[in-house]
Amino acid sequence: MTAFVNFPSSYTQSTVERAFRKYLPEVSITTDKPSDRVQIQYADYDLIEFDWLMQDSDNSIGSSYCFRKALTRKNYLHQTIEAYLAKIEHRLSVNAVDASEKANVELLRKAMPKCWTIDVAHSEDLDEVLMDELYDLNQAMNDESDSWFILKPAMADRANGIRLFNSEETLREIFEEFDSDSEDEDEDEGEEDEESTAVSTSQLRHFVIQEYISNPLLIDPTGGKDTFNKFHLRVYVLCVGSIKVYMPTSILALFASQTYKQPDEDQSLLSHLTNSCLQGSNMDRNTFVKSLEELEGCYTATGEQITPQQIEGWLDSASKVIGQAVKGAVESGSVHFQPIPNAFEIYGVDLLVTETNEVKLLEFNGCPDFGQTGDRLAWIVDNVVDASFEKGILELLGKNNISNTVKTIKCLDYEFKRAEDGEAPRAPAPAQAPAQAQAPAAQQQKPRTQQKPRTQQKGAKDSAKDESLPSERAPRGERGAKRSRGAKTPGNPGGQRKGRQFDRQSQTGRTDSNKQKAAWGGEDGQKELATEEAAKKDAEAAETAPGTPAEPKEPEETTKTLDEYLAERASKKLDIGAPEVRKANEGTEGVSGVQLLRDSQEEHYFVAPKAQPKEPKAKSQKSSKVTIEIDGQFAKPESERRPRNTNGRGPSRGRGRGGAAGRGRSGRQGGPQRKENAGANVNLNDEKAFPTLA
């Protein structure tokens, strides 16, 4: 048997190789990626050949699931848990969840901080997001100025891109910072700033915004009572097959390197973020990285010491919250989380403890970095890897491990079946409610027509209700318990009503309207029964009544052979005799003549003649305008003035209207014309001297 073991961190590589020598010494280990199929792949997620796991599930084991981003991505985790809580709420309303599981679901509900998911590629997209996905957040920032929120990239790790803000202006500045880093990425590609935690929005466009938990439990990691720091628990969780979840009790407590203070715009993130990668390599790991057992006896900000009972309560709450979160991923996020029976995986789950000892779920981390644990607490990582062999590899190989050296808490034992041919995965049916005792004879089901009318409206009471009769219409989720409608069957031993127990929409408290009740027989249920009985009696009386004519019998079918049919047809053709002619008045004996008269009141029947098509009227022609041409001629009157300056010197040289001398208006120079004009007289008898109308 061969095992492929390869991790980027030498810390993890050496730990896994040690576990193979401890539990499976006969297995040969190779660090080079094999070209042929191997039986065990215990390697980083990107180096695993998942085709081998899917094709040969009986002879191949892998250290990771192929589809598990419903847990490892922050935005998918929030959406998965939110969908699971909505689904489980309906089961709670119909009493389909056990009391113990109901308490665990309530723990998960309280463990999830209020969260928003957004998709922002550039800072310009923030305007639309604030009016849509972040509308509630925007209102909260405007109404409550003292509320703080934390921004996290959905796919980033090592505290990259995590920011605190309390206003819209601060949020815009954060994304503008990310945009500027995106623009300078090409220019400073070869230079890396170890202290910078900015991210590029163009590459990491999915973000989550969580309500900042303002009441964390503060502990003095130095063992004194002076400086109190924020911390979170790093719980390593082992998922095996499909699916069992184990939580080793070897847990880390990671502290912030600076004393905790309330959030401030100018304050460093080192007092609020407990990620060990953010604290830097100069952090004192002996002081700020501890095991859970080392917290016993430490003082809190309230002056109290951590007790073993308090730690046990954290472990119990953590195991229940983690188990419900993984179950929610299986049931509500089955597209993005699909456990397979021949694989296992280790997750690093971050939990925050509050002043009231409540456990808050922050995130799931795939392929956790064991190197941040340090050499002092290397035994914690050894226990986690040993648990992966004792509860994972050896169980999948079918080998019985006698010595279980690692203490674990079982968080979930769930059977997940993969879908066949594209069918959606289905979760097993919930446990059936305990069967109730059979109802007494007085409460047995009666015919529908004999049942008591239903309530007229929601919440109505019937003062005359008989306690021995079936109760009024109960909420749909309680019908099976209050009304014995169903028969006893192997799958329904209590005779409970089947049907809408797990309806997607709650029917609790719904009652029938007046229209619905009328459809069931009106206010008096006896009317429908009386009508049916009367109709039945009428039918029986009609059948037994004397003189009822018998039903006519159907004529019998006659069959002929082909030869008989042809012979009969030929005989008919031969009978061609002429028919007998009827004689005059034959068959008219006893028939007297009848005179037909028209009724005077009979309506006259008039058939209108067929209408002749009308000829189209000729269009009237418009009278045209008549134009008369007039050639008016006027005779020139004789001048009544004397010529001026006549003294025998010739004609006048004035400027008269008709004068010949000078430049008159119509005259021209020339002697003959002037003489003619001067001596012209009008002849009244001459018609040509007057104008005509011709």
DSSP for 610-667, written as a single string: PPPPPPPPPPPPPPPP---------PPPPP-SPPSS-TTT-S-----SS-SSS--SS-
Are 164 and 238 in the same domain? Answer: no
Whole-angstrom Cα distance, residue 228 to residue 259?
6
What is the per-residue pLDDT for 460? 42
Q: Is residue 644 part of a domain?
A: no
Secondary element (H or E) of residue 673: helix 671-678
> DSSP string spanning 431-499?
PPPPPPPPPPGGGS---GGGSPPPPSSTT---TT--TTSPPSPPPGGGHHHH---SPPBTTBTT-PPPS
Are 32 and 172 in the same domain? Answer: no
Position 458 pLDDT exceeds 60: no
Q: Is residue 370 part of a domain?
A: yes
Q: Is residue 339 part of a domain?
A: yes
What is the per-residue pLDDT for 598? 61
Closest by CA to 30, choosing from 5, 60, 10, is 5
Give the pLDDT band of residue 503 (cuts 50, 70, 90).
low
Residue 500 to residues 57, 455, 480, 495, Cα–Cα distance (Å):
38, 21, 10, 15
- For residues 657 and 358, which has the higher predicted lDDT (pLDDT)? 358
Which pair of structure tokens corresponds to residue 58?
A: 């009986």
Report the range of poorest mean pLDDT among 122-126, 232-236, 414-418.
414-418
Strand partners, 150: 164, 210
What is the per-residue pLDDT for 571? 79
**Over 185-218, what HEC string results?**
CCCCCCCCCCCCCCCCCCCCCEEEEEECCCCECE
Are 142 and 55 in the same domain? Answer: no
Q: How does strand 2-6 pair with strand 40-43?
A: parallel
Q: What is the pLDDT of residues 201-232, one digit of tens each?
A: 666 788 999 999 989 999 999 888 888 999 99
Are 176 and 253 in the same domain? Answer: no
What is the per-residue pLDDT for 466? 44
Residue 101 to residues 71, 104, 246, 662, Cα–Cα distance (Å):
21, 5, 17, 136
Burial of 541 (0-12, 13-18, 19+ CB in 10 A): exposed
Strand partners, 413: 244
Position 271 pLDDT exceeds 50: yes
Greatest mean pLDDT among 183-187, 325-329, 411-415, 667-671: 325-329
Are 170 and 231 in the same domain? Answer: no
Whole-angstrom Cα distance, residue 74 to residue 80?
10
Angle, CA 70 vertex, CA 67 and CA 76 arms, to 5°? 140
Residue carrying the six token digits 């004519």: 549
Position 624 pLDDT exceeds 90: no
What is the per-residue pLDDT for 694? 56
What is the per-residue pLDDT for 486? 46
Strand partners, 345: 239
Q: What is the pLDDT of residues 596-619, one digit of tens each?
A: 666 555 555 555 555 555 666 665
Whole-angstrom Cα distance, residue 258 to residue 663?
123
Closest by CA to 426, choosing from 412, 442, 415, is 415
Are 277 and 391 in the same domain? Answer: yes
E strand spans, 503-614: none
**Overall number of domains in the chain:** 3
Rounded to 10 deg, the angle between the 135-143 and 168-183 helix axes is 120
Q: Is residue 475 part of a domain?
A: no
- For residues 435 and 303, which has the higher predicted lDDT (pLDDT)? 303
Are 239 and 370 in the same domain? Answer: yes
Give the pLDDT band of residue 659 (cuts 50, 70, 90).
very low
Position 95 pLDDT exceeds 90: no
In terms of pTM, does the model score above 0.85?
A: no
> DSSP string spanning 32-66?
SPPSS--SEEEE-GGG--HHHHHH-TTS-EESS-S
Task: Read off the pLDDT of each residue in 161-169 and give the average, rounded to a whole number.
Answer: 88
Q: Could you give the residue ranges of the DSSP H alpha helices within 334-448?
A: 378-387, 394-397
* Residue-range definition of the domain harbouring residue 56: 2-62
For 408-438, letters b (16+ CB in 10 Å) and e give: bbebbebebeeeeeeeebeeeeeeeeeeeee
**Of 389, 413, 437, which closes a domain?**
413
Q: Is residue 144 part of a domain?
A: yes
Are 41 and 150 in the same domain? Answer: no
Task: Read off the pLDDT of each residue in 532-555 and give the average, rounded to a whole number.
Answer: 72
Report the range of poorest mean pLDDT among 195-209, 290-304, 397-411.
195-209
Q: What is the pLDDT of residues 469-491, one digit of tens each?
A: 444 444 444 444 444 444 444 44
- Distance in Å from the first CA to the final CA of the chain: 139
Q: Are 206 and 155 in contact (CB under 8 A)?
A: yes
Provide the percentage of residues in the chain whose pLDDT is more than 70: 61
Position 363 pLDDT exceeds 90: yes
Which positions ≥6 away from 485 have C-beta within 8 Å?
445, 479, 497
Whole-angstrom Cα distance, residue 425 to residue 427?
7
Position 98 pLDDT exceeds 60: yes
Which positions ≥6 away from 503 have C-beta within 8 Å?
90, 94, 476
Position 429 pLDDT exceeds 90: no
Which pair of structure tokens corresponds to residue 343?
A: 């694989």
Are 29 and 136 in the same domain? Answer: no
**Of 166, 192, 211, which closes a domain?**
211
- For residues 596 and 66, which has the higher predicted lDDT (pLDDT)? 66
Q: Are 660 and 678 in contact (CB under 8 A)?
A: yes
What is the per-residue pLDDT for 551? 62
CB count within 10 Å of CB 291 equals 16
Q: Are 641 and 656 in contact (CB under 8 A)?
A: yes
What is the per-residue pLDDT for 418? 52
Position 17 pLDDT exceeds 90: yes
- For residues 124 and 488, which has the higher predicted lDDT (pLDDT)? 124
Position 126 pLDDT exceeds 80: yes
Position 512 pLDDT exceeds 90: no
Are 247 and 385 in the same domain? Answer: yes
What is the per-residue pLDDT for 440? 45
For position 176, which CATH number holds? 3.30.1490
For position 283, which CATH number holds? 3.30.470.20
Q: Are 389 and 261 in contact (CB under 8 A)?
A: no
Position 591 pLDDT exceeds 50: yes
Which pair of structure tokens corresponds to residue 133?
A: 């996905």
Are 221 and 136 in the same domain? Answer: no
Report the range of poorest mean pLDDT among 62-66, 121-125, 132-136, 604-608.
604-608
**Of 211, 231, 265, which closes a domain?**
211
Q: How does strand 28-30 pair with strand 2-6?
A: parallel
Angle, CA 505 vertex, CA 502 and CA 510 arms, to 5°? 100
Q: Are 96 and 430 in contact (CB under 8 A)?
A: yes
Q: Are 237 and 195 in contact (CB under 8 A)?
A: no
Closest by CA to 306, choosing from 314, 634, 45, is 314
Strand order across the 61-62 sheet: 28-30, 2-6, 40-43, 61-62
Q: Is residue 156 part of a domain?
A: yes
Q: Is residue 232 part of a domain?
A: yes
Are 80 and 46 in the same domain? Answer: no
Q: Is residue 501 part of a domain?
A: no
